[in-house]
Amino acid sequence: MKKPSREQIDDAMKYIPDLPQDFINFINKEMLKRNRYLFYKREKKKVVAVCSKCGETVELKKAAHNGSFKCPSCNVKAVTKAINKAKQYQFSEIFTIVQRVKLGESEGIVIKYVKAYINFKHYDDTSDFPVNILSTLVEPKITRYEGSRELWWDHHGQTKLWLLENEWKWETNEYKWVNERKRGYYFNRELLRDSDPIVYKRNIKRLIKKTPWKYCGIEYFKFKNFNVGDYIQSYIKCNELEYLVKTGLQNLAKEVVNHAYSYSGSEKIRDLKKLSKVSMKQVRKYDLDSYGVETILWTQEKNISLTEEQLKWLIEYRHHDKIKELLKHTTLTKIINHIEKQTELRDFAASLWVDYLSMSVKLGKDISKSVIFFPKEIKKLHDELVYLVAEEENAKTEAGLAEFWEKWHSILDYRKKDLQILTPRTQKEFIAAGSTLKICVWSNGYAKRMAEGKTIVLFIYKQNGPYFALELDKDFSKIKQLHGYDHLRATPEVQKLVDKWHKDTLKKLNEKNLLKSA
């Protein structure tokens, strides 16, 4: 979308209305409501505080900076603040108001983003607190700064959008509205528009009526904090947003709005169309998000009739892929009951359980038996099986390496002067070589893959110590890797040795017709 010129912006700003007093009153009320504090100071064993809500001086039984406490006088829940912990106490919120604006022959709206600051203390002396109480603690100063504007209007059937920000101009010594700049490492000034502000909703229904987005349903959107510009953008891309908000599917609508520029939300509508009437009732009743819809969809596909408690549990627990695996063997009720009995790592019990069952099958256990399928302590038995499986795999790897060595070492081993190429016989040789050469040959499953016949690893020794590691493909035809200390490339001496060895070895294998059996 083409950006406006300096002259176009200056001309348009002449028609932008001021902030109405009702909106300013709304900001002040919200700031005072959202910022309740008990400012306190310790006097020997006593904790004396003043409440920003009722203005009363009260005595607290205990207090901690940034703690939570109810005022003994007005019973309002407030945050406790040590009066001398900071030189100032300033808090901020971002607000949005939508106003109508005329741009040339077209009528549109302007979305204003205003940051409000509430100051309870500003570098003031509080040494005689609570004898003398600062007036700002009970009557704080509230200031405002309008930092971003979005201008939306329809021009001959096309939606026009200007994104503007308020920027200080040193040449004129004043703020000017300019085209919004991209944010990056070297320009990280806060962009108010890039937020979910508190929305002033009192005038939205009336304003939207005379725009192309009059059916967008924004007046039905129940959330207090959201980005109005993102909402309009979402509606333009996905008209079904109106359906979502008007049928009470607020959490699904919120997801569409929160991802206004990444996807349209149409896939959410397609998922809803797959639901049965009973399932749709559940989605509406509990105002489910996309994860909740996904939960109902896969349980519907498996013909699982969910109770209210089961649905809530599945949405909260989240590990659907693991639950699906467990459902191949037992019922949802039994799965939930068993997971809830786990006192250790309950939130990861499903993952541990599936892993435990997989290892049980590897070890030849009959998981159809209830005593094996439902272990009393999943975490404990899981860890035990990890050790047993590792032990069994180690034994298989050792046996595979020994078998390979027995068959091939007489052909592959090679010596020239003080260098020798040797076939490893055990995993210890992989560990020793990897540790000495500082390479991953001992930690990335090379020994296991060699034992399974998927690769070939040999070691070059110099003066009885590991010098280089050599990897070939499983049919001996290609040298894949040749690394020395810390992945050092082969020296001319080593490269010459390996090339001659490889040529001679392939010749031997062909003569003995062994490549076919490799």
Residue 283 has pLDDT above 80, yes or no: yes
Between 25-34, 236-245, 248-257, 435-444, the lowest mean confidence (pLDDT) is in: 435-444
Sheet holding 37-43, edge to edge: 57-60, 46-51, 37-43, 77-82, 67-70
Residue 322 has pLDDT above 90, yes or no: yes
Instruction: Give dist(CA 393, CA 397) in Å, integer.
Output: 6
Q: Which of 142-146, 267-271, 286-290, 356-360 has the lowest mean pLDDT?
A: 267-271
Q: Give the mean model confidence (pLDDT) for residues 324-342.
A: 94
Q: Is the pLDDT of residue 345 over 70?
A: yes
509 C-beta neighbours (distance < 10 Å), count:
20
What would the DSSP string read from start to end of 269-320? HHHHHTS-HHHHHHHHHHT--HHHHHHHHHHHHTT----HHHHHHHHHH--H
Three-state SS annotation for 6-19: HHHHHHHHCCCCCC
Residue 449 φ/ψ region, left for φ over 0, alpha for ψ in the -120 to 50 degree band, beta for the rest: alpha
Instruction: Evaluate if residue 1 carries a pLDDT over 70.
Output: no
The pLDDT confidence band at residue 81, using thresholds 50, 70 and 90, is very high
More confident: 188 or 281: 281
Compute the half-sphere exposure of residue 38: CA atoms within 13 Å on the CB side of its CA.
Answer: 31
- pLDDT band of residue 516 (cuts 50, 70, 90) is low
For the full predicted model, state whether its pTM sits above 0.75. no
Q: With contact defined as beta carbons under 8 Å apart, do 330 and 370 qualify?
A: no
Q: Is the pLDDT of residue 288 over 70?
A: yes
Q: How many CA atoms lie within 13 A of 357 on its CB side?
A: 20
pLDDT-derived band at 515 (thresholds 50, 70, 90) equals low
Give the per-residue pLDDT at 2: 79
Q: What is the mean pLDDT of the chain?
A: 90
pLDDT of residue 183: 80
Average pLDDT on 20-35 reads 95
Radius of gyration for the alpha carbons in the chain, expressed in angstroms and rounded: 36
CA dihedral sign of residues 204, 206, 207, 209: positive
**Arithmetic mean of pLDDT, 232-253:** 91
Closest CA to 113 of 142, 144, 73: 144
Could you give the CA distance from residue 251 to residue 203 in angstroms, rounded to a whole number? 23
Strand order in the sheet with 465-472: 414-416, 419-422, 456-462, 465-472, 479-483
Across 367-396, average pLDDT:
91
Q: Distance between CA 380 and CA 384 in Å, rounded?
A: 6
Separation CA 99–CA 19 (nearest Å) = 9
Which pLDDT tens digit goes with each residue over 94-146? 999 999 998 777 788 999 999 999 999 988 888 888 888 888 999 999 999 99
At 152-171, the pLDDT tens digits run 988 777 888 999 999 988 88
Q: Is 53 a residue whose pLDDT tops 70?
A: yes
The answer to whether 252 touches 240, Cβ cutoff 8 Å, is: no
Neighbour count for residue 448 (Cβ, 10 Å): 18
pLDDT at site 444:
77
Mean pLDDT of 17-41: 95
Write down the pLDDT at residue 518: 58
Instruction: Specify the pLDDT at position 66.
Output: 93
Separation CA 300–CA 292 (nearest Å)? 12
Label residue 416 by pLDDT band (50, 70, 90): confident
- pLDDT interval class at 263 (50, 70, 90): low
Contact 187, 54 (CB under 8 A): no
pLDDT > 70? residue 179 = yes
Asked whether the predicted pLDDT for residue 210 surpasses 90, the reply is: no
Rounded mean pLDDT, 232-258: 91
Name the more confident of 116 and 307.
Answer: 116
pLDDT at 194 over 80: yes
- Cβ(38)–Cβ(133) under 8 Å? no
